[in-house]
Structure 1
Amino acid sequence: MHHYTYPCPLRWSDADAYGHVNNALFLRYMEEARTRMFQEILPADEAQRRQKAFVVSRAAVVYRAALRYREDPVDVHVRVAQHRAASFELAYEIRDAEQLYAEGTTAITAYDLEDGQPRRLTEAELAFLARYTGS
């Protein structure tokens, strides 16, 4: 498999009056999985993190089935759909063994927050992305 899986816990407050997880929270689940996935390549030093940041430039979610609140986590699978010199796209599936609840994508730009400019991906970042590229 060429994807990262994060078992995302659901919170009682995630559910609406009908017991369904609110649609806006699917973006939070995607963010949580993405953040955990990238932990290993983010610099420990805050100044370096600002120079080697990533920003979301686009996000989309297609809802496939209602996700009802439950105690068991839902899996968020993340893979790299494509990458370029300064950006990449992540594809997500929010699912469990029986059901696909949503699919999503985020376009991510490598960014230097100090300069306020996009930057090129480093060789180490490209190697990391290659681990999660493919089906």
Structure 2
Amino acid sequence: MFTEIIHPRFSETDALGHINNTVVAVWFEACRTPIFKVFTPELDLQRWPLIVASIAVDFKAQLHYGAEVEVRSWISRIGNSSFEVTQQAWQQGVCCAEGRAALVRFDYQSQKAMPLSPEQRAILELHSL
């Protein structure tokens, strides 16, 4: 499992004083960086081997400005060429949001999915629950 601390910015709040619902997906993407590094350690966009197939976020409680958020990320499914990342946003001991992202190892030249390598699969398995 990967964890990262987010410090909500005032600009991420909405008119009701909560963290805007669109912000959580951005936080989740940012917290997938350690997983991206499994495939592209230098994060070179010219050699980027992943594509997002789907994302979903379920909101369970309100998030607020002024208190840090812990994002927990882990691999919840591994397929032949794809895998799923599950992520949770915790604030003050409460799971406030949970999301899932399906990522595919992808060859942009051929526009086709590519199988995960044995090395990639092994690293992903280390971070699965």
Relative to the length of structure 1, the TM-score reads 0.86
Task: Tell me how far 1:20 sits from its aligned partner.
Answer: 0.4
Moved more, 8-17 or 32-41: 32-41
Contact 2:75 2:86 in 1 (8 A): yes
Whether 1:86 and 2:81 are equivalent positions in the alignment is: yes
* Aligned twin of 2:57: 61
Relative to the length of structure 2, the TM-score reads 0.89
Q: For residues 116 and 130 of structure 1, what CA distance do their matches in structure 2 show?
A: 26
User: Quick one: which of 85, 100, 122 aligns to 1:127?
Assistant: 122
After superposition, where does 1:19-38 map in structure 2 within 5 Å? 19-38=17-36
Q: For residues 46 and 90 of structure 1, what CA distance do their matches in structure 2 show?
A: 21
Contact 1:8 1:33 in 2 (8 A): no
User: Which ranges in structure 2 are unaligned for 5 or more consecutive residues?
Assistant: none
Size of the alignment, in residue pairs? 129
User: Which ranges in structure 1 are unaligned for 5 or more consecutive residues?
Assistant: none
User: Quick one: which of 80, 90, 95 aligns to 2:90?
Assistant: 95
Same amino acid, percent of matched pairs: 27
Task: Tell me how far 1:112 sits from its aligned partner.
Answer: 1.2
